[in-house]
Amino acid sequence: DQNPIKAAAKKIADTLRDGGGPQDGVPGKPAPASPTVEEPTAPTEPLPPKADQQGPETVSPTGQPTGAEQARMAQSGAYLTTAQGARLYDTDHSLKAGPRGPVLLQDHHLREKITHFDHERIPERVVHARGAAAHGVFQAYGNASEVTKAAFLAEGAETPVFVRFSTVLGSRGSADTVRDTRGFATKFYTEEGVFDLVGNNIPVFFIQDAIKFPDIVHAAKPHPDREIPQAQSAHDTFWDFVTLHTEATHHTLWNMSDRGIPRSYRTMEGFGVHTFRLVNAEGVSTLVKFHWKPKLGVHSLVWEEAQIAAGVDPDFHRRDLADAIEAGAFPQWELGIQTFPDTPEQTFEGIDLLDPTKIVPEEIAPVQPIGLLTLNANPSNYFAETEQVAFHVGHLVPGIDVTNDPLLQGRLFSYVDTQLTRLGGPNFGQLPINRTHAPVNDMLRDGMHQTAVHRGVAPYRPNSLDGGCPFVAGADTGAFIEVPAPVAASRKVREAPASFDDHFSQPRQFWLSMTPPEREHIIAAYTFELGKCYEQSIKERALQVLANIDSHLCEQVAAGLGLPAPAATGRLADPEPSPALSQLGQIWPGDGRIIGIVADAGADLDGVTSVREAVLGAGMVPLVIAPAGGKIGGGDGAVTVQRTFATARSIEFDAILLAGVPAVGADAFPARDAKTDATPAPTDPRLLLLLNEAFRHGKAIGVWAGADAVLPGAGIPADAPGVVLADTGATAFEQVSQLLGAHRVWERFPAGA
């Protein structure tokens, strides 16, 4: 047998049959052979990939090994050893006083193996515990040099990056697709030191002052008595807090919108949230807000998809990111800035730039692209990289400075502090993923997990014993050069400025900027979340908050809850809508989209083969779905199945193609009755469910070769928008891929999705 894995398995089976291993003292068994050190087996390949289930060749411009090559490197040495390098002849049996006797404390290998294992887990992040990350590169356009001297933003600069996406509320093992804010944290390994842009996919925050962070997190996390619900905001304590503390209204509204359930990390916007300060070579400062704009557009799931995915594929976003990168469909974002004059008031068009619950609409301050981020390599080891990466808003480089936003100021303290617990001491910056690519000459010494061997005798300044080294930089190259912004003479207060008191005009602007389907989704989200609350008073208070945003929104949610709709407590603001806040209305590239092609033995298999090629050619991923696995058809024209009716679920596919009605007796589709022309329902309810869900979720569906016969059974009118009846697979795919540009067939909404 040529298969190395089968060969290894056979060898183990033979050993067991021949009574190998220690059998000391067992009656009727041969005496044990004295332990011999066998020659190591040649490392075997991981399970051989199935040719048709693989994406295109893995590309890794960072030179990182990927796939099988990487797997080989993991346990690459010839002999298994202890942590001290001593070779081991057995790792399967504890050292015992006879085969049935007690285990001996003397067994160093046993103790080392178990002790290390006992300490494998570290505390998860107190928020943003669940994440997925990737390596990449940032290429600067150079135009930002007018406003910042940061070297990595100068023309032609290319900087390695590591980006971690996350949910906020759930534990490490929670589902990806829950309704929540998403973290979008980027570590730039610049030649001037590490710069971390630790942002979210929502441009505003729940609170205006860091001192409220423990409150909002305690309210949003599971209830402390039963520790439920996991990774959800649909519970009493969350709604209790956000309705009492109305500065949370804006962020909560974004959460209830489609932004709370992204289709993919690849289709999320990112925001720095706070206003930052950039400083150019002449020392002139500018206030900015950072934006990440995804090249694939901003797209979301529908709520039912999010819920299904949480059960069917809780790793939906993590898998999507890794698969896309492995397949060479590298996700890209443009980094953009909105710029504002650094005036003493720090306001723009009446918007307080220090208030992190406010946006500045893009229509009045356009986002100017300053560089391109490309994620092009998956981490090699989740723990070493994604789990141990430590971001910090205080990791700044020359040319980027902070402002007095009281939320940002508190974060400047929190991020180092949390790593002390999470990563076990102050030397977390020495972990490979956190190491700067710039030379380090600090005078920080010792501490837990110190891995550097510092030389010299004088880790202090001034010194003469180490030649006075290291020297301090001039103001032109140093980081943390404070812009000498005046600090208004005042008295010590625990107060916020009056401008922080407006909690409703921007939520109303967001609501007014939504299209009808987006509004329907928001109404449905509030109705669901508040419907999950037990306390009537919390629901009533939430309705009062909604009344202060919009009467229609309030009335619809009230109707869903079966409660009266209150009136607004004051006159509603009359803001200009900001079309940039809507996710609809643009056409986007379809790169990396997943096309499910349903077929069985009687389908147009030649058509399936050519459609697969067309899908790949369009930079999308074709997955053939059939009643059972293996191949369908025979000979050269056989088609490999990637998903069966048992493993396929509609959420995985952005669009569905149906390749015809097979002959009578075939597995999936009974044929049209020739005499009566009646269309029997498909036999397999899983196929019906797949089609029905795809339809209700607004996905494009293309059929050819008579497959329209299947549609009525799935409740799909053949003349519904986004249902393409074509003559050939090629035409079906062409039209479906055009529909995908808008992400969904929005004409089908609102339909209670």
Does 359 contact ligand HDE by CB under 6 A?
no
Nearest distance, CB of residue 362 and ligand HDE, angstroms: 18
Answer for which of 4, 67, 160, 410 binds ligand HDE (CB under 6 A) is 410
The secondary structure of 223-284 as a DSSP string is: PTTT--STT-S-SHHHHHHHHHSGGGHHHHHHHHSGGGSBS-GGG--EE--S-EEEE-TTS-
Pair 651, 316: CB distance under 8 Å: yes
The secondary structure of 556-611 as a DSSP string is: HHHHHHT-PPPPPSSPPP-PPP-GGG-S-S-----TT-EEEEE--TTS-HHHHHHH
Token pair for 251: 């962020």
649 in a labelled binding site: no
Nearest distance, CB of residue 481 and ligand HDE, angstroms: 23
Residue 278, φ and ψ in degrees, nearest 5: -105, 150
Backbone φ/ψ region at 469: left (φ over 0), alpha (ψ -120 to 50), beta: beta
Does 290 contact ligand HDE by CB under 6 A?
no
67-104 burial string, b = 16+ CB within 10 Å, else e? Answer: eeebbeeeeeeeeeeeeeeeeeeeeeeeeeeeeeeeee
Does 382 contact ligand HDE by CB under 6 A?
no
Does 588 contact ligand HDE by CB under 6 A?
no
Answer for which of 23, 171, 280, 414 binds ligand HDE (CB under 6 A) is 414
Distance, CA of 593 to chain centre: 16
Answer for which of 239, 292, 303, 391 binds ligand HDE (CB under 6 A) is 391
CA pair distance 412, 255, nearest whole angstrom: 25
* Enclosing H/E stretch for 10: helix 4-17
Chain residue at closest Cβ approach to ligand HDE:
183
Nearest distance, CB of residue 183 and ligand HDE, angstroms: 3
Answer for which of 58, 60, 109, 128 binds ligand HDE (CB under 6 A) is 128
164 in a labelled binding site: yes
Distance, CA of 467 to chain centre: 49
Does 127 contact ligand HDE by CB under 6 A?
yes
Does 125 contact ligand HDE by CB under 6 A?
yes
Nearest distance, CB of residue 233 and ligand HDE, angstroms: 16
Chain positions 676 to 695 lying near ligand HDE, rule: CB under 6 A, are none
Does 650 contact ligand HDE by CB under 6 A?
no
| CB-nearer residue toward ligand HDE: 373 or 543 | 373
| CB-nearer residue toward ligand HDE: 124 or 304 | 124
Pair 131, 386: CB distance under 8 Å: yes
**What strand order describes the sheet that includes 723-725?**
643-644, 621-626, 594-598, 655-658, 700-703, 723-725
- Find, among 328, 369, 373, 417, the residue nearest to 162 by Cα: 373
Nearest distance, CB of residue 152 and ligand HDE, angstroms: 20
Does 252 contact ligand HDE by CB under 6 A?
no
Does 651 contact ligand HDE by CB under 6 A?
no
| CB-nearer residue toward ligand HDE: 414 or 683 | 414
| CB-nearer residue toward ligand HDE: 170 or 627 | 170
| CB-nearer residue toward ligand HDE: 337 or 745 | 337
Nearest distance, CB of residue 236 and ligand HDE, angstroms: 23
- Judged on CB neighbours under 10 Å (0-12, 13-18, 19+), 752 is exposed
Label the pairing between strands 332-341 and 285-294.
antiparallel
17 in a labelled binding site: no
Does 221 contact ligand HDE by CB under 6 A?
no
| CB-nearer residue toward ligand HDE: 131 or 729 | 131
Nearest distance, CB of residue 201 and ligand HDE, angstroms: 9
Q: How far is CA 106 from CA 25, 98, 101, 587, in A?
A: 21, 14, 14, 68
Pair 333, 293: CB distance under 8 Å: yes
Pair 725, 703: CB distance under 8 Å: yes
| CB-nearer residue toward ligand HDE: 126 or 479 | 126
Does 185 contact ligand HDE by CB under 6 A?
yes
Answer for which of 166, 190, 249, 650 binds ligand HDE (CB under 6 A) is 166
Does 415 contact ligand HDE by CB under 6 A?
yes
The secondary structure of 399-413 as a DSSP string is: TEE----HHHHHHHH
Pair 276, 287: CB distance under 8 Å: yes
| CB-nearer residue toward ligand HDE: 113 or 422 | 422
| CB-nearer residue toward ligand HDE: 183 or 193 | 183
422 in a labelled binding site: yes
CA pair distance 715, 705, nearest whole angstrom: 19
415 in a labelled binding site: yes
**Positions marked active-site:** 128, 200
Answer for which of 170, 183, 627, 682 binds ligand HDE (CB under 6 A) is 183
CA pair distance 273, 357, nearest whole angstrom: 8
Stretch that binds ligand HDE, among 194-202, 494-502, 660-668, 690-698 (CB under 6 A): 194-202
Does 433 contact ligand HDE by CB under 6 A?
no
Answer for which of 164, 179, 358, 649 binds ligand HDE (CB under 6 A) is 164
Chain positions 475 to 504 lying near ligand HDE, rule: CB under 6 A, are none
Residues near ligand HDE (CB under 6 A), total: 25
Distance, CA of 25 to chain centre: 56
CA pair distance 682, 709, nearest whole angstrom: 9
The secondary structure of 298-356 as a DSSP string is: --B--HHHHHHHHHH-TTHHHHHHHHHHHTT---EEEEEEEEEE--TT-EETTEETT-T
Chain positions 197 to 216 lying near ligand HDE, rule: CB under 6 A, are 198-200, 205, 210, 213
| CB-nearer residue toward ligand HDE: 405 or 502 | 405
- Find, among 734, 728, 731, the residue nearest to 604 by Cα: 728
State which amino acid sits at residue 468. Answer: G
Stretch that binds ligand HDE, among 98-106, 193-201, 253-261, 586-594 (CB under 6 A): 193-201
- Find, among 374, 375, 382, the residue nearest to 433 by Cα: 382
Nearest distance, CB of residue 384 and ligand HDE, angstroms: 14
Does 134 contact ligand HDE by CB under 6 A?
no
Cis peptide before 470 (omega within 30 of 0): yes
Stretch that binds ligand HDE, among 73-81, 195-203, 228-236, 503-511 (CB under 6 A): 195-203
Does 579 contact ligand HDE by CB under 6 A?
no
* Enclosing H/E stretch for 184: strand 182-190
Does 273 contact ligand HDE by CB under 6 A?
yes
Does 418 contact ligand HDE by CB under 6 A?
yes
Chain positions 500 to 559 lying near ligand HDE, rule: CB under 6 A, are none
Does 131 contact ligand HDE by CB under 6 A?
yes
CA pair distance 520, 360, nearest whole angstrom: 25
Scanning the structure block, which residue is given the tokens 């402390």?
224
Nearest distance, CB of residue 293 and ligand HDE, angstroms: 17
Q: Which residues are annotated as a binding site?
A: 125, 164, 213, 411, 415, 422
Q: Which residues are annotated as a binding site for heme?
A: 125, 164, 213, 411, 415, 422
- Chain residues that interact with ligand HDE, rule: CB under 6 A: 125-128, 131, 164, 166, 183, 185, 198-200, 205, 210, 213, 273, 389-391, 407, 410-411, 414-415, 418
